[in-house]
Structure 1
Amino acid sequence: MEQHDRRAVLGTAATLLAGGMTVLAGGPAQADASGEQARESFRVVDRRGRQRFLASSTKPPVIIGGRTYPADQRQGPEGTYLIFNDGDGSEKGGIVASSAGASLSLDYGNAQAITMAARWEGVHGAAMLEMKHMPDPALPVEQVPAMPPRVQLGYSTAEGAFLVLSDSRGRPRIVLEIDADDTPVIKVLDPEGNVTGRL
């Protein structure tokens, strides 16, 4: 490691320690041909031992409200995970990358709030920004029902570009779209999904 690289690493470690953070590397260390050590996870905890950041090459458990839920209860594919936690250790968002997509999510106290995602397969792809209805913040995470989307902004090679505004039950009420043939349309829908206005 060159001298300036050593200073950068030591400076980062000093900054983390001065802020009461400790860096923990998980999994057995294995040196590759270049001499660098490979690990399956990298975790930052505060002085109280609470996780504040996690980088993992496998799907990690979920920490919310002081409870840890097994990794198999986490939505999302196997891939690389970067998890952000608040001062109490509860997960508040993260980034996941897999061979077929990537996403960024930000959370309410007990549910996902915003998801930005991209997916692809061969020549087909899609990108979406979705904002969900906020649940009762007093509900424990295991009692939170599936929250409906309120805003969806997206694009796909099959459907074109679209913006969907939905009511509190997740029913689309206003849809703006430019389809795959470049035809634009604005639709207003009633609660049953019938189009009541079109432009």
Structure 2
Amino acid sequence: MINWLPSKEKGKREMEQRDRRAAIGTAAALLAGGVTVMAGSGPARATSSGELARESFRVVDRRGQQRFLASSSKPPIIVGGRTYPADQRQGPEGTYLIFNDGDGNEKGGITASSVGASLSLDYTNAQAITMATRWEGVHGAALLEMKHMPDPALPVGQVPAMPSRVQLGYSTPEGAFLVLSDSRGRPRIVLEIDGDDKPVIKVLDSEGEVVGQLPETPAGRRS
């Protein structure tokens, strides 16, 4: 007996079979690392092109702890063993890839939206490194930022805002810059090439006053 299906339905069935084979192969690879379960959120739906679509894809380990999440919308936050609603997550709506540690706590992720993209890595209870880019029309900016580490014993809800220690960036109107700050977030060394391609190196005191600069101003004074 010949199993005949209309071409569109047959294509959909073939794609489903390929997806199942791919899932089995991926599951086998994950088993070797102790990750055993993969789960999609919500039923798979066929798109106008006949492809199967899901709004999110989640990988959990044998204990049911989330280890990875891919989502087409802003997801909840899992930190310190608690789950916080998605509206408490900073950042725009977009595509989210979330990485979790062995206890299920979020330790970093990638975000992509229509106005920018970012990658972040976390300390135990706070954000550590952010690499981001944004654009609007003919203007754009890129930034790598490293923040001060808080006391790791503090619960997430008690961690104060951590100051930035290193900022390396570029923007179309302002040029390129490197800012090194002290433990209170006060800029102390600034290297800059401004929008007119003029370079400058500044050393600042704790009050923000310039105490050394290259090149010096034409009058010999430091600005």
TM-score after normalising by structure 2:
0.85
Q: Which moved more, 1:67-76 or 1:93-102?
A: 67-76
> Helix, strand or coil: the match of 2:30?
helix
- Provide the C-alpha distance between the structure 2 equivalents of 1:147 and 1:21, rounded to a whole number of angstroms: 36
- Provide the C-alpha distance between the structure 1 equivalents of 2:35 and 2:213, rounded to a whole number of angstroms: 58
Question: Does residue 12 in structure 1 map to residue 26 in structure 2?
Answer: yes
Structure 1 residue runs of 5 or longer lacking an equivalent are: none
Report how far residue 7 of structure 1 moved: 5.2
Residue of 149, 157, 175 corresponding to 1:134: 149
> Helix, strand or coil: the match of 2:160?
coil
- Provide the C-alpha distance between the structure 2 equivalents of 1:142 and 1:111, rounded to a whole number of angstroms: 10
- Identity of aligned pairs, percent? 82
- Provide the C-alpha distance between the structure 2 equivalents of 1:5 and 1:36, rounded to a whole number of angstroms: 10
Q: Which moved more, 1:159-168 or 1:34-43?
A: 34-43
In structure 2, the CA distance between the partners of 1:22 and 1:5, relative to structure 1 (3 Å rule), is closer
CA contact (8 A) 2:40 2:54 kept: yes
CA contact (8 A) 2:35 2:59 kept: no
Report how far residue 14 of structure 1 moved: 1.7
In structure 2, the CA distance between the partners of 1:57 and 1:50, relative to structure 1 (3 Å rule), is same
Tell me the equivalent position of 1:78.
93
> Helix, strand or coil: the match of 1:142?
helix
- Provide the C-alpha distance between the structure 2 equivalents of 1:35 and 1:13, rounded to a whole number of angstroms: 24
Report how far residue 8 of structure 1 moved: 4.5
Structure 2 residue runs of 5 or longer lacking an equivalent are: 1-13, 215-223
TM-score after normalising by structure 1:
0.95
- Provide the C-alpha distance between the structure 1 equivalents of 2:177 and 2:63, rounded to a whole number of angstroms: 46
Report how far residue 37 of structure 1 moved: 1.5
- Provide the C-alpha distance between the structure 2 equivalents of 1:109 and 1:6, rounded to a whole number of angstroms: 36
> Helix, strand or coil: the match of 2:117?
strand
How many residue pairs end up in the alignment?
199
In structure 2, the CA distance between the partners of 1:51 and 1:135, relative to structure 1 (3 Å rule), is same
- Provide the C-alpha distance between the structure 2 equivalents of 1:165 and 1:21, rounded to a whole number of angstroms: 44
Tell me the equivalent position of 1:156.
171
Question: Does residue 114 in structure 1 map to residue 126 in structure 2?
Answer: no
Greater strand share, structure number: 1
Tell me the equivalent position of 1:146.
161
Residue of 33, 37, 62 corresponding to 2:48: 33
Question: Which amino acid letter does the alignment assign opposite residue 194 of structure 2?
Answer: D
CA contact (8 A) 2:60 2:67 kept: yes
Report how far residue 120 of structure 1 moved: 0.2
CA contact (8 A) 2:36 2:61 kept: yes
Residue of 102, 120, 129 corresponding to 1:105: 120
Q: Which moved more, 1:82-91 or 1:29-38?
A: 29-38
For residues 62-118 of structure 1, the C-alpha deviation after alignment (integer angstroms, 9 at most, x for no partner) is 101211111111111111100000001000000000100000000001000000000
